[in-house]
Chains A and B, each alone.
Chain A
Amino acid sequence: MKPSQKMIDEETGRYLPVIYPEELPYWKGAKKRELWLQRCTDCGKTLYPIGPACPRCLSVNLQWTRMSGKGKLHNYVVYHKPWTPWFKDKVPYAVVQVELEEGPRLTTNLLDCPIDDIKIGMPVEVDYEDIPDGITLVQFRPAQE
């Protein structure tokens, strides 16, 4: 994987993530179906969004660490308006915020879960979605208990 500034896949019209150089370990991890984030080696905080310093103690000693992939649903909203043509047959769809066991909250979708079954507090686990341009997105799904 390489850094990328491509915002849209021309063939499908799907929006892509911009891949910033310092975020490559996250994207390489997702490609291997693993969730990796930075952990501060001085105070132990796991941080998100990905960044160059620890927002708790301002240390720059950060170590990429594999996450458990477990968390709970912290928040969600439901899109009814398709902002781009690609979403026309996807609406209504949910965008969720998942709180990881390790603390940070990620913004993703919730795969294989009807909108009416989405509840704040429900246990979720990480999953992955392959999208164009050789990119894999971190996603979540209801936890298999």
Chain B
Amino acid sequence: MSITEVSKAMRDATAICGVGLTIGSFPDRTPLSLATEAYLLALEDAGLEREDVDGIIQLSYGADYDRFLEVVGADVRYANQGWTHGRFIAPMLQQAAMVVASGMAKAVAIVHGRKGRAFGQLADHEMWRQGLGPHGESPPYGAFSPAFGVATAAQRYFHMYGGSNEDLAPIAVAFRKHARLNPLAVRTDPMSTEDYLNSRWIVEPLRLFDCCQNSDGGACIIVTSAERARDAKKPPVYISGMQGVHAGPEFHNLTLPGLGVAQQEVYQYKPTKDDLYAYEMAGITNKDVDALITYDAFSPLVLFGLERFGFCGPGEALDFIKDGRIELGGELPVNTSGGLLSEGHVVGWNLFIEAVNQLRHDCGERQVKDAEIIQYGSFLGESIIFRR
């Protein structure tokens, strides 16, 4: 299967022109005020007026999109709202690009505000869904939290390929090093391999330092046409290629196909050309990627992201992450902001914003030298190729 002409026309047709981000602990704020602050920061960053933004996309957590628009006094001609899960952030950014490319809006703001334990969140109920929770949770058996899905996946990975929890240490240690160069990061204490191994078990084979920290915060990303983005205050960050979240019984959430989690088949997963069409759309291969940004709510997801996009073969990721290869200055820097593990977790929007900051060459001490292409790519196959 080759990609279509329409798909090729999407290459570099749209760009990110403004971003705004806050991460931390804001006990006296609401999701609505955090969303508003991020929106104002992004407008300022782009040099746009409220009236220049005629589309809005949101994942629900606090207030709905219409309440947010009421707050900022904006009428738009394109609005949509999705359901908050980390796997839905790439589809939302992709939708913003498609909306702009098709002319349904000139500029779309993706807006998010979140408080870790705020009133009215749905996640507390999801685990009772018919046919188990979204990460395989089963409350009467004590199978709680998304950690369950990824712990079962990691255990199967170790069973199939060898290795154990201690082999995950280079991930948390590398991302902590990155976070220490990031003024916004929430976890910045130094972390040695020994510190990692001394952190307490949460759901074995996962330790505390294998798990992200859910943060309060706000994020906003403004997408517009490549042409308009070139007139913005900062250099445009083009959306060059993209591919969607793969789903179905073989793609059980928080694992890689083939690991035999829940009802998955057991086999060694290796991506085919059809599994990697974002590269074709962008006209690159994974060798052109200067840094990889991947969804790391839990450290084993980094292994799955690397294998999903063929940076290494099946079962090879535990070796790949060794010897500083995924650190700044290494062969493939990964999650240069510190990722969700150490920068903080704003549903993952902060991962996209790191890609933007890197390609603007705005990252100071943690800048990937001469970065031209950064890939967001995660274990479920969703990806966005960003280009300077």
Q: Chain B binding site: helix, strand, loop or mixed by DSSP?
A: mixed
Contact A79 B142 (CB under 8 A): yes
For A50, the chain B residues whose CB sits under 8 A away are 130-131
Residue in contact with B152 in the complex, picked from A7, A55, A97, A135, CB distance below 8 Å: A97
**Docked CA distance A78–B148 (Å):** 9
Tell me whether B159 is interfacial, beta carbon within 8 Å: yes
Q: Which of A15, A48, A80, A135 sits near B139, CB closer than 8 Å?
A: A15
| A77–B152 CB distance below 8 A | yes
Known contacts A78-B201, A80-B201, A107 near B138 by CB under 8 Å: yes
Check if B142 sits within 8 Å of A77, measured CB to CB. Answer: no
Q: With A7-B128, A87-B142, A90-B142 as known contacts, state yes or no: A77 contacts B263, CB within 8 Å.
A: no
Q: Using Cβ atoms and an 8 Å threshold, which residues of chain A touch B205?
A: 77
Q: Are B203 and A109 in contact (CB under 8 A)?
A: no
B-side contacts of A83, CB under 8 Å? 142, 144-145
Q: How far is the CB of A132 from chain B (nearest CB, A)?
A: 10
CA distance A49 to B155 in the complex (A): 21
How many residues does chain A have at the interface if contact means C-beta atoms less than 8 Å apart?
A: 38
Q: How far is the CB of A55 from chain B (nearest CB, A)?
A: 6
Would B142 and A80 count as touching, CB distance under 8 A? no
Q: Let me know if A137 and B260 touch, CB within 8 A.
A: no
Cβ contacts A81-94/B at 8 Å (1 or 0 each): 10110010010110
The answer to whether B204 has its CB under 8 Å from any CB of chain A is yes
- Indicate if the CB atoms of B140 and A17 lie closer than 8 Å: yes
B128, B138, B155, B200: the one contacting A75 at CB < 8 Å is B155
Task: Provide the bound-state CA to CA distance between A90 and B143, in Å.
Answer: 13
Residue B283 CB within 8 A of the other chain: no
Complex CA gap A78/B142 in Å reads: 10
Nearest-CB residue, chain A, relative to B158: A120
- A17 to B130 alpha-carbon distance, docked (Å): 10
Given contacts A77-B155, A80-B203, contact A17 B142 (CB under 8 A): no
A135 to B260, CA, bound (A): 29
Q: Does A104 contact B (CB under 8 A)?
A: yes
Once bound together, how far apart are the Cα atoms of A55 and B252, in whole Å? 14
Q: Is A67 an interface residue (CB 8 A)?
A: no
Q: Does B123 contact A (CB under 8 A)?
A: no
A88, chain B: closest CB distance, angstroms: 12
Q: Is the CB of A15 within 8 A of B140?
A: yes
Contact of A95 among B125, B142, B156, B261 (CB under 8 A): B142
